[in-house]
């Protein structure tokens, strides 16, 4: 495993963590979508509920992990790499998603309301894409607060998570609930890497701690305590630490390499999984070939992940590679290559 601050190579357990989280995200959307369409819950619902306290906290924490490597760059380069990059993919893929949804929206609400809905999506994040809408905001806020003491920023971010903020606006509510994890990834990076190394140095102890965590997390979730103030913050951090330990242990075993590949291409999956997910869900529910909702949800999850990667493989050597790589004309700062991959 390369040094966290060398920038010379990808770090194996980080990709495992990203892969773990993106699969959990696809699983959530797949399962809830299947259950909403069927009007009842399946056995996969329990797994989705179990992952709720840590699924997005860990994703945001990992997203802030390497920020120290780039935060001192000039604003033009920083905005290009950390804002324009994600803005490009958001605009592109919100348009793609909208094209698929527009016929149904026009039939229900009319053309004018549908056009308004599309324009509003640039203020209120559309569907599954809110993560890459919010991430650039986190990058900018963190750079703007460089002059403040990290403890003050962290306490303010933790307070936002604890407070019952529910304005109905995704950016406001999710910023309040998630920024503390992103910022923690940034300021606690050395400790996070030490945690991963400790798990690999003492795998038996790591496995024991993970078993204890699973029991506690499950108890809090299934008894309705996980959303309580302070409890949700604690479960978010403990769960993120657990995912880091799990990922570090997975990195020691070649059996889990497909998960690492998913992590290396997590943004590709995040952008495109909705298409194969929705198509597979529709086919399975309409044909009735499989009746078990849990099995359907699992198949739809796999289809979302594999289908997104298949789309990437199909276009990466064609003119359509702009779907997953940012073309040179959309760069603000000097470019190292003609296109910048989604990752």
Q: Looking at residue 340, what is its pLDDT?
A: 59
Q: Looking at residue 3, what is its pLDDT?
A: 39
Question: Other C-beta atoms within 10 Å of 155: how many?
Answer: 12
Tell me how far apart the alpha carbons of residues 262 and 257 are, in angstroms, rounded to a whole number. Answer: 9
**Which tens digit of pLDDT belongs to each residue from 33-73?**
999 999 999 999 999 999 999 999 999 999 999 999 999 99
Phi-psi region of 288 (alpha: psi -120 to 50; beta: other; left: phi over 0): left
**Could you identify the residue written with the tokens 């559309």?**
126
Point out which residues pair with 327 in neighbouring strands. 339
pLDDT band at 88 (very low <50, low <70, confident <90, very high): very high
- CA 94 and chain centroid, separation: 16
Q: Positive or negative CA dihedral for 150, 183, 61, 330?
A: negative
**Which tens digit of pLDDT belongs to each residue from 7-34?**
435 799 999 999 999 999 999 999 999 9
Q: Looking at residue 127, what is its pLDDT?
A: 82
Tell me how far apart the alpha carbons of residues 229 and 237 are, in angstroms, rounded to a whole number. Answer: 14
Q: What percent of the chain has pLDDT over 90?
A: 84
Mean pLDDT confidence for 67-90:
95
Q: Looking at residue 343, what is its pLDDT?
A: 62
Helices (H), the chain: 12-38, 44-63, 75-79, 85-109, 111-120, 130-144, 150-162, 170-187, 189-201, 203-222, 231-250, 257-264, 266-272, 274-287, 293-315
**Which tens digit of pLDDT belongs to each residue from 128-171?**
899 999 999 999 999 999 999 999 999 999 999 999 899 999 99
Residue 5 pLDDT > 70:
no
Q: Looking at residue 335, what is its pLDDT?
A: 66
Q: Looking at residue 7, what is its pLDDT?
A: 40
Mean pLDDT confidence for 205-211:
90
Minimal CA–CA distance to 281: which of 269, 272, 293, 270? 293
Question: Other C-beta atoms within 10 Å of 190: how many?
Answer: 11
Residue 116 pLDDT > 70:
yes
Residue 214 pLDDT > 80:
yes
What is this structure's pTM?
0.91
Residue 125 pLDDT > 80:
yes
Tell me how far apart the alpha carbons of residues 310 and 307 are, in angstroms, rounded to a whole number. Answer: 5
| Domain layout of the chain by residue ranges | 12-341
Q: Looking at residue 236, what is its pLDDT?
A: 97
Q: Looking at residue 206, what is its pLDDT?
A: 84
pLDDT band at 338 (very low <50, low <70, confident <90, very high): low
Mean pLDDT confidence for 330-338:
73
Q: Which residues of 220-235 are buried (b: 16+ CB within 10 A; e: fewer)?
A: bbeeeebeeeeebbeb
Rg (CA), the chain: 20
Tell me how far apart the alpha carbons of residues 295 and 84 are, in angstroms, rounded to a whole number. Answer: 39
Mean pLDDT confidence for 175-188:
97
Q: Looking at residue 8, what is its pLDDT?
A: 38
Tell me how far apart the alpha carbons of residues 37 and 9 are, in angstroms, rounded to a whole number. Answer: 43
Q: Looking at residue 254, what is its pLDDT?
A: 80
Q: Looking at residue 327, what is its pLDDT?
A: 93
């Amino acid at each position: 495993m390369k040094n966290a601050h060398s920038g010379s190579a990808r770090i194996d357990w980080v990709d495992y963590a990203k892969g773990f989280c993106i699969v959990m995200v696809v699983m959530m959307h797949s399962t809830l979508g299947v259950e909403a369409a069927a009007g009842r819950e399946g056995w996969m619902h329990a797994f989705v509920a179990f992952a709720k306290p840590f699924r997005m906290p860990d994703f945001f924490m990992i997203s802030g992990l390497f920020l120290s490597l780039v935060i001192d760059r000039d604003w033009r380069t920083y905005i290009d790499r950390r804002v324009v990059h994600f803005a490009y993919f958001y605009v592109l893929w919100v348009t793609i998603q909208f094209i698929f949804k527009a016929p149904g929206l026009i039939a229900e609400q009319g053309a004018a309301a549908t056009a308004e809905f599309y324009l509003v999506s640039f203020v209120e994040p559309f569907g599954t894409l809110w993560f890459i809408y919010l991430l650039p905001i986190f990058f900018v806020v963190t750079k703007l607060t460089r002059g403040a003491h990290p403890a003050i920023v962290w306490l303010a971010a933790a307070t936002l998570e604890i407070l019952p903020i529910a304005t109905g606006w995704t950016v406001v509510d999710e910023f309040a609930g998630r920024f503390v994890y992103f910022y923690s990834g940034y300021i606690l990076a050395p400790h996070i890497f030490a945690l991963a190394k400790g798990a690999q140095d003492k795998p038996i102890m790591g496995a024991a701690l993970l078993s204890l965590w699973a029991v506690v997390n499950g108890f809090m979730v299934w008894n309705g305590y996980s959303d309580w103030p302070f409890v949700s913050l604690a479960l978010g951090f403990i769960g993120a630490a657990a995912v880091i330990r799990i990922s570090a242990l997975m990195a020691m075993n070649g059996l889990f390499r497909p998960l690492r590949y998913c992590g290396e291409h997590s943004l590709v999956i995040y952008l495109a999984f909705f298409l194969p997910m929705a198509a597979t869900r529709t086919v399975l529910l309409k044909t009735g070939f499989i009746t078990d909702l849990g099995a359907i949800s699992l198949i739809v999850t796999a289809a979302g992940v594999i289908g997104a990667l298949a789309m990437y493989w199909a276009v990466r050597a064609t003119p359509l590679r702009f779907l997953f790589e940012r073309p040179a004309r959309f760069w603000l700062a000097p470019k190292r290559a003609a296109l910048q991959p989604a990752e």
